[in-house]
A and B are shown apart, each in its own frame.
Chain A
Amino acid sequence: MSGRVLVGVKRVIDYAVKIRVKPDKSGVVTDGVKHSMNPFCEIAVEEAVKLKEKKLIKEVVAVSCGPQQAQETIRTALAMGADRGIHVEVSGKDYDNLGPLHVSKIMAALAKKEEAQLVILGKQAIDDDCNQTGQMTAALLDWPQGTFASEVTLEGGKVKVVREIDGGLETVKINMPAVVTADLRLNTPRYATLPNIMKAKKKKIANVKPSELGVDLTSRLEVLRVDEPPQRQAGIKVETVDDLVGKLRETGSI
């Protein structure tokens, strides 16, 4: 096994920012808005770095698809302990239309190229909430997948994944190479310390174009409209139970 782990890191609007919809309803406002690494991607990076510290794998490669600013996200991963980065350059309209299917094709191509033993992704991104990239990547590669991971253990050439599912926890054992997606309780990501931030500035980030990986970025989806969630309506106050029953009859609820 190559001992190489690929980790996808997505640059998203920071979780603490109040999202505003553009006046033309074509999307949300991103200009001048604070961005950071998707929280589930941070958990993915942390897990990969932990595996390396336990000497179970040899190298962590952080991958991000996007415009120039995606390099900042890669640098954060490098500062957390990833060894090198790959920036897949996607900008302009291509970037606006970039979705899980494109990213999965890119990740699959890179996983093959880098001879990765493991691909670790966040379970979903907090901007689109798709929860598709991990699953699609595994399908494209025809690799097994352990999604919604709350625990990952490498045992004798296989991966044991404890999954968070609706009914509780499910444990699966899958062969490597495999795709794992990180859920909230997998770990607590470290913050980058000063020495590591500086070392990250000297680590290598390679630039790749999607076309070099044989990936076509045409979108089969068209976003028609983006709206804010409906405003919460004011309630009506009543004095007595009879008034309440009366009001309910009025509005046709009973």
Chain B
Amino acid sequence: MLKVLSALRLSYLNSLKLTARRSNFSTECLYDESITKFISENTEIVVDHNLTPEIKLRLFTPNCRFWFERPEFWPFEDPYWAIYWPGGQALSRYLLDNPGVSLGKSVLDLGCGCGASAIAAKLCGANRVVANDIDSVATLATCMNFKLNGLESPVCVTDDMIGSDPGNFDLILLGDMFYDEALSYNLHTWLEDCIKTHKSQVLIGDPGRAQFEELAFQSRLKKLAQFELPKPVREENYGLNCSSVWAALCKPRHLSGHESF
């Protein structure tokens, strides 16, 4: 039974990848009715118990099948998008509290997951929002979440944008992306490049993950805000009490006389 499911899952994933590859840099979200239906059936619309009750999101809750179900039955990639990570929460909260940061800007939400930060930017009047996630189911979930909040779908990109030309975005958002050693290293290198060549403003939301604290990049970061996590989030993410937002500076902190933006 499991072998059949794995085979089905693989063929489904492959067909998704084919669909994703057909999308180029600036296409609308590819709408797939069956996956959308699957997402609807296996998530619940959540409006509270996180830092941004203003944003509606489709997430895993104890009322959902896959809160308890055997993970082998999940037919897609690991659904990072079905969880509202503390790093992303802080970033979205900061954007909503400081609408001037997003207003009129072109924004890239890298590793958008559920799309909360992209939504926050759009709600504050961002001119152009691109939601990027290598998991095409995540971009689909992001589109659904945009619609849930009364917004038009953003531009979605499923290519791995780390290492590529970021194409002149004013603002690059990274919500809870520094949890893996290899990923952190790649991001670090790419971000330095983005700042130097494009003068993009980079905002990072992180709850104090080990990989983030150990970044050599740390001297280039300025803490903008810190939020205490609500009790349900603390319970779901043991060991994390608060989550902060950081801005990346063009020059190391000890050398820069003033902020870069």
B217 at the interface (CB under 8 A from A): no
Q: Is the CB of B74 within 8 A of A194?
A: yes
B257 contacts A by Cβ under 8 Å: no
Beta-carbon contact of B78 and A201 below 8 Å: yes
CA distance A59 to B238 in the complex (A): 9
Residues of B within 8 A of A191 (CB): 70-71
Picked from B60, B176, B179, B210, the residue with its CB within 8 Å of the CB of A194 is B60
Encoded as 1 (CB less than 8 Å from any B CB) or 0, chain A from 77 to 109 comes to 000000110000000000000000000000000
- Chain B nearest CB, measured from A53 CB (Å): 11
Which residues of A have CB within 8 Å of B236?
Answer: 199
Task: Produce 1/0 per residue, B23-65, CB < 8 A to A.
Answer: 0000000000000000000000000000000000000100000
Report Cα–Cα, A97/B140, bound state, in Å.
50
For window 203-220 of B, CB contacts with A under 8 Å fall at 209-210
Q: Does A208 interact with chain B (Cβ within 8 Å)?
A: no
Q: Within the assembled complex, what's the spacing in Å between the Cα atoms of A199 and B180?
A: 12
What class of interface size applies to chain B in its complex with A?
A: 20 to 34
Taking a contact as CB atoms closer than 8 A, the residue among B82, B210, B239 that contacts A195 in the complex is B82
Task: State the interface size on chain A (CB cutoff 8 A).
Answer: 16
Residues of A within 8 A of B79 (CB): 194, 198
Given contacts A84-B239, A193-B69, A194-B60, contact A204 B209 (CB under 8 A): yes
Known contacts A201-B179, A202-B179; decide if A195 and B60 are in contact (CB<8 Å): yes
With A84-B239, A194-B60 as known contacts, state yes or no: A202 contacts B176, CB within 8 Å.
yes
| Residue A176 lies at the interface, judged by CB distance under 8 Å to chain B | no
Nearest-CB residue, chain A, relative to B236: A199
Closest 9 CB pairs of A and B: A202-B179, A204-B210, A194-B71, A194-B66, A83-B238, A195-B60, A198-B78, A194-B74, A83-B239
20 contacts between A and B (CB under 8 A): A83-B238, A84-B239, A191-B71, A193-B67, A194-B60, A194-B66, A194-B69, A194-B74, A194-B78, A194-B82, A195-B67, A195-B83, A197-B78, A198-B79, A201-B78, A202-B85, A202-B179, A202-B209, A204-B210, A206-B210
